[in-house]
Amino acid sequence: MTSRTPIIPQNLKLLVEERIHDDGLRGNIRRATHTSLGKRAAVVEDFPRWEEMRTTAHDIKKHVMDNLAHYLELFERQATEAGAQVHFARDAKEASSIVCGLAREHGERVIVKSKSMATEEIHLNPALQQSGLRVLETDLGEYIVQLAEEPPSHITAPALHKSRGEIGRLFSEQLGIPYTDDPEELTAIARRVLREEFLQADVGISGVNFGLAESGTICIVENEGNARLSTTLPKVHIAVMGIEKLLPDAESLGLFLNMLGRSATGQRITCYTSLITGPKRSTEPDGPEQLHIVLLDNGRSTMHADPKLREALYCIRCGACMNICPVYQKVGGHGYGSVYSGPIGSVVTPVFMGEQAAHDLPFASSLCGACADICPVRIDIHHHLLDWRHRMVEGQDGPLLERIAMRLFTFTALSALRFDLAGRLARLFAPFLKHSAGGMRLPVWSETREFPNLPEKSFKQLWKEDRERS
Amino acid sequence: MNARDDMMKKLSLGSRMSADQRIADLQHLHDRLRDLSGGDLAELIPLFRERLLANGAEVAECRDGSEIAEALESILGDDDRIVLADDARFADHDIARKLSEKRETRRVCLSDDGNLAPENGGWKQHYAGMDAGITFAVGGVAESGAVIVHASPGESRSMSLLPMHHIALVSAEHLHATLLDAAPLIASLSQRNGSSAVTLIGGPSKTADIEKVLVTGMHGPKRFTVLIVHQLPAGQQDSSTPLSHHTEG
C-alpha cells in the first residue's frame, strides 16, 4: 500500500474554498454530525447532573495536570512492574523511530493497527512503510481512508466525509470485487479481508484513551473489536500514548467512560473497553508476549508549561466540538489541513505544527462558543482560539485601512458628542445605501445575506422619550 | 540528557503540589464522584436488561442449577462448535457434558486431547472457526449495560472475540449499579499480579463508519448474549418454570 498524502501546511482559504462548493461532501458531513449530535442528546439525559459531571471531569484533569510529573512516574513504575516496557519520546521523530525499531525487530509479515490519533500525529504509517514494513489500518473508517490514500477527517469517524457509493467504488477498484454500496455487505467484505491479516500479524499497534497511574493500566475504547484483536493476536503490542492521557485511578475512569461514549457517538458505553495491564501472564492462554508503551511528549510539555494552554491537555478526543461546530459542518476535517481538525484541533495544532504553519487556524472559527458548551471536560475552546489570535497578531500591524478605521472609531467613541453626531449622520445617509428589496447594501457582505437596517432612533433618544412619557 | 529525564524535568517545573496536598485534593475529587454517582438505582436487574438491549445485546435469565444448560441450549440454537471457559462451574450440574451431546465442544486450555491451547499451532484459526464462546463474567454494570470479563488461566481473550457469538454468564448477585461501584473490582483485577486484560463488553462488535448505518459483527461477535443467573433461595432445588429470553425488537 502506498503512503498517505502527507499533511503539509497549506493555504487554508484554498482548502476551504474547494470544500465549501462540494455539495456532496457537505451533505455527507451534515448527515454524520447531526446523527451523532442527536444520539448524544438522548443519552446525556440519563444524567440530570451532567453539568456537574463536566465540572468534576474538568477538575480531575486539572488535578492530573497539576501533578503530571508525579502521575507519569507512578504510571511508568506500575506499568514496568506489570511487565510492560515503557519508552519516552520527546517528539514525533523520536516516537516514530522507537516504534519503527520495535516493528522491524518483530514484524516480518504484517503490522495491524487500530485507530489512533497519536500515531497520525507522529506520521507513523509513512515511517513504517519507509522501513519496508506493511502496515494495515483495521478500524473500518481508517481502512477506507487508507485504501483511498487520504488522512482521516474526523477523530472518531475517519471516513465520515465519504458516501456509501464512494466507498463501494473504492472497494471495487482496490479489492477487485463486484460493486456494492450496501453497508452490510461492505462491512462483511472488510471483516473477511482483515480477519485473514489479523491471523497473520506479528505486531499490533494501538493508541490509548486513558492511562491509569495507580496500576499502570492502559485503557482502549472501541466498538468494532479491532483494537482487541490488534492487542491480543500478535505476539508484540505497541501502544502510543500522549502523556496527557493519564487519570489517577479506576474511580475516575468510571466518570470519563460515562462521558466519552456519550459525547463521541451517543453511546452509554462503547462495545469494548479494554483495560490492559502488562503483557499476557504466563498462566493466561493468549495475549501478546511483549507490551511496549511509548509515552509521547511532542509539544505537550510546552503546553503544560503555559498556564493558559495547559487546559487544552484536558481533551479526551471525543470529537463533540467538531460535530457541533458550524465551521466543521461546512468544510469537514480535511478543510483544516491539520491532523487534529475542528475547534480543539485549531487550539493544539499551532503547538504541534508551529505557529507559522498553523497561523490561519485560530481564525477559522465564528467564536460562537458551541464547542465550549458541549465539551465534556469544559475546555474553554473559543477563548483559547481568541488567545491564539492575540498571540499571532501581537506586534504586527493590521492592514492600513483597518488601522485608519479603528483610529476613527476610537476618536468617535471617546466623546458622547461625537458618537451622537456620528449616529445622526449614519441615519441620515443610510437610506441612500438601500437595496431595492429594502435591506442595506454593503460590499461582499450583501452578496450572501442582508444587512439589517439602522433603527430610526438611537437608544439614547428612546430612553429619553420613555422617561418623559412616564 | 535522555528523553525520560528531559520530559520529567520539564513537567516537574509545572507540577508544584506537595504530596499531602495531592492526596487531599484527590480525596476531595473522590467525594465528589461518589456524590454524583448512585441515586435511585434500586431495581438493578430491569435496568441492566434494558440497557443491554439498548446496546444491541440479547438477554436471557435462568435460575442456578440445571436450568443453565437448558438456557444455553436455547441461546446456542444452531451454533455447532463451541468453546467453553475452563471453569469448574461448567462441571456442576453436568453443563459441559449436556452441551457436548449435540455439538462439538472444546475447553479453552487443555492441550493434551486436542482442546484449544496456545501451544497448539493454529490456535487462532481454531478460535476463528468456532461458532460460539461461552465465558463467565465477574460482574455486570447496570447503568452502562455491560459485563466485565477478564483473561485468566481458564478463560482466554480470544474466546469472547473470535467466534461469531459470545455468551457471557453473569450472576445476578454480581451486578453493580454504576461504573463507580464497579471501580474497586476493576482496580483489583488490574493489579500487576492480576489479569493482563480486563474487558467491559457492552454489546456485539459494531461499526457505523459507512454513512452512520449501524452494522454488527464488524470484527468481533455478531451476537452477544448475556445470561443472568439467579441464585436459588437457600434449600430450594431447581424450579420447573424457566425464565424468559429477550431480544431487541
Alpha-carbon span A81 to B192, nearest angstrom: 7
Residues contacting B159, CB < 8 A, separation 6+? B83, B85, B108, B127, B130, B133, B134, B135, B166
pLDDT bin (cut points 50, 70, 90) of residue B184 is very high
Q: Residues B68, B93: one domain?
A: yes
In a shared domain, residues B32 and B147: no
B29 has a chain A CB within 8 A of its CB: yes
**Domain range for residue B83?**
42-246
Residue A71: per-residue pLDDT: 97
Q: How would you write A338-404 as a 3-class SS string?
A: CCCCHHHHHHHHHHHHCCCCCCCHHHCCCCCCHHHHHCCCCCCHHHHHHHHHHHHHCCCCCCHHHHH
Let me know whether B25 and B80 are in one domain: no
Place of cell 471453569: B87
Identify the CA nearest to A288 among candidates A306, A274, A309.
A274
What is the amino acid identity at position A328?
A: Y
Query: A255 — contact with chain B (CB < 8 Å)?
Result: yes
Are B77 and B92 within one domain?
yes
**Which is more confident, B169 or B92?**
B169
Pick the residue of B110, B190, B225 with the most A CBs within 10 A to test the interface with A by mutation: B190
Q: Give the DSSP H or E segment for B59.
A: strand B58-63
**What pairing do the DSSP bridges indicate for beta strands A290-296 and A236-242?**
parallel
Segments in A290-376 forming alpha helices (H):
300-305, 320-324, 326-331, 342-353, 370-374
pLDDT (0 to 100) of residue A108:
75
Q: Which residues of B touch A195 (CB under 8 A)?
A: 128, 219
pLDDT at A266: 95
B70 and B113 co-located in one domain: yes
- Do B187 and B67 fall within a single domain? yes
Predicted pLDDT at A15: 84
The predicted structure's pLDDT at residue B41: 60
How far is residue B108's CA from residue B242's CA, in Å, rounded to a whole number? Answer: 29
CB proximity A110 to B under 8 Å:
no
pLDDT of B47 above 90: yes
* CB count in 10 Å sphere of residue A429: 10
Whether residue B77 sits in one domain with residue B200: yes
- For residue B166, name the pLDDT band (cuts at 50, 70, 90): very high
Residues 299-318 of A with CB under 8 A from B: 301, 304-305, 310
Cβ under 8 Å to A: B residues 115-134: 116-118, 123-125, 128
pLDDT, position B235: 58
Q: Tens of pLDDT along A212-257?
A: 999 999 999 999 999 999 999 999 999 999 999 999 999 999 999 9
Q: Are residues B117 and B27 in the same domain?
A: no
pLDDT at A437 (0 to 100): 57
C-alpha cell at A176: 477487485
A86: β partners: A293
Pair B25, B48 in one domain:
no
Residues B112 and B134 occupy one common structural domain = yes
Q: Which of A334, A347, A350 is nearest to A151 (CA)?
A: A334
Query: Which is it for strands B132-136 and B81-84: parallel, antiparallel or unpaired?
Result: parallel
* Torsional class of B56: left (φ above 0), alpha (ψ -120 to 50), beta (otherwise): left
Q: Are residues B28 and B52 in the same domain?
A: no
Residues B93 and B208 in one domain: yes
The answer to whether residues A187 and B210 touch, using CB atoms and an 8 Å cutoff, is yes
List all residues of chain A from 158 to 177 with a beta carbon under 8 Å from chain B.
158-160, 162-164, 167
More confident residue, B119 or A40: A40
What confidence score (pLDDT) does residue B243 get? 54
Interface predicted TM-score (ipTM) = 0.92
What parts of chain A have a pLDDT lower than 70? 1-10, 434-440
Tell me the pLDDT tens digit for each residue of B208-247: 999 989 999 999 999 999 999 998 776 555 444 445 555 5
Q: Do B146 and A273 touch (CB under 8 A)?
A: yes
Given B187, B217, B220, which is nearest A228 (Cβ)?
B220
| A435 vs B182 pLDDT, higher one | B182
CATH number of A12-301: 3.40.50.10420
* A267 contact B CB<8A: yes
Q: Is the pLDDT of residue B110 over 50?
A: no
**Cβ–Cβ < 8 Å for A156, A318:** yes
Tell me the three cell numbers of residue A7: 499533511
**How far is B44 from chain A, CA to nearest CA, in Å?**
15
Q: Which residue has the cell 503490522?
A: A111
Strands of A90-207 (E only): list them. Answer: 111-113, 135-137, 203-206
Which sequence spans correspond to the domains of chain A? Answer: 12-301, 414-469
pLDDT at A6: 37
- pTM assigned to the model: 0.90
Whether the per-residue pLDDT at B111 is higher than 50: the answer is no
pLDDT in tens, B185-204: 999 999 988 999 999 999 99
Domain tally for chain B?
A: 2
